[in-house]
């Protein structure tokens, strides 16, 4: 497990005491991030997840998926190039689905991004279709917020800021998709291509889009797919760069805020 914070690197090894302490001496909330592909990283969230310590688990490099009691105050599950059912190619996926199933049923905030959202849906009884018929959704998509999002602890800021259009531009790159939400999930957003762009179940959120993705990351992903026009993707990114960054930063900040609030409630007196 690699440990680092959003504003400074923590040395691994040695005594753990004091490694979570901010300047005030209070314990900083800890968020576990699970990475499943080398080029699907925390990216811009590294700087945008503020006032939390982030512990990165490189599942793709063989680091074990933590148990539910080891994730700390929050959990982020990143995307990846495998499918949500690709247990042979990615043998850590069963443990990751089990982790999401348990954590989402507690009070620990969790965020699944793209593949992470699909794993969350499957873990809680929903369905994901591989190579869904509408085809790959690539570039910048308009995420349309449903009324439920306006009351959501994580996404209300984005939904309310969207104004009458009720849409927020966000990066996207996926061909698989959630086609049935788990029982009890709250549907929060859609797009013109795929209906389930955001949902919440228990203490966990799934977003099909990539709020963390930078221009360089999207370019690399686009270049890797023959069915994607890289120039078109970059043109969309450049045309809406400020909106995309603002929304991604807001979502990261909101998630960090949810984590900090949860940690404060559970902090020993």
User: Does 210 qualify as catalytic in the annotation?
Assistant: yes
Instruction: Round to whole Å and give the CA distance between 260 and 267.
Output: 10
Q: Tokens for 117, please give them.
A: 């959202």
Rounded to a whole number of angstroms, the CA Rg of the chain reads: 18
Strand order in the sheet with 2-5: 2-5, 53-58, 30-35, 74-77, 110-113, 204-207, 198-201, 186-190, 137-145, 167-174
**Cβ atoms 145, 188 nearer than 8 A:** yes
Find the catalytic residue in 55, 114, 137, 174: 114
Report the candidate in 172, 256, 175, 176 with the shortest Cα–Cα distance to residue 213: 172
Find the catalytic residue in 210, 225, 226, 245: 210
∠ at Cα 86 (83, 91), nearest 5°? 130
User: Does 17 qualify as catalytic in the annotation?
Assistant: no
User: Does 81 qualify as catalytic in the annotation?
Assistant: no
Find the catalytic residue in 55, 137, 174, 212: 212
Residues catalogued as catalytic: 114, 210, 212
């Amino acid at each position: 497990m690699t440990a680092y914070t959003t504003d400074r690197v923590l040395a691994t090894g040695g005594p753990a005491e004091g490694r979570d302490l901010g300047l005030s001496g209070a314990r900083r909330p800890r968020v576990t991030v699970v990475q499943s592909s080398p080029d699907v990283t925390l990216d811009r969230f590294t700087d945008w997840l503020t006032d939390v310590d982030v512990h990165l688990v490189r599942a793709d490099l063989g680091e074990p998926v933590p148990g539910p009691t080891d994730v700390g105050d929050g959990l982020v599950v990143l995307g990846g190039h495998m499918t949500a059912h690709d247990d042979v190619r990615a043998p850590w996926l069963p443990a990751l689905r089990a982790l999401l199933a348990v954590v989402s049923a507690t009070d620990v905030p969790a965020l699944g991004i793209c593949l992470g959202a699909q794993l969350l849906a499957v873990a809680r009884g929903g369905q994901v279709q591989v190579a869904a018929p509408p085809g790959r959704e690539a570039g910048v998509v308009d995420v349309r917020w449903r009324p439920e999002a306006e009351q959501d602890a994580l996404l209300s800021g984005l939904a309310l800021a969207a104004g009458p259009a009720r849409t927020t531009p966000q990066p996207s790159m996926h061909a698989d998709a959630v086609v049935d939400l788990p029982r009890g999930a709250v549907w929060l957003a859609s797009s013109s291509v795929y209906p389930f762009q955001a949902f919440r179940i228990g203490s966990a959120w799934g977003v099909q889009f990539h709020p963390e993705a930078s221009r360089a990351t999207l370019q690399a992903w686009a270049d890797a797919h023959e069915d994607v026009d890289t120039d078109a993707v970059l043109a969309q990114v450049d045309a809406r760069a400020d909106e995309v960054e603002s929304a991604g930063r807001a979502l990261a900040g909101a998630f960090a805020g949810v984590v900090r609030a949860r940690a404060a409630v559970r902090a020993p007196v």
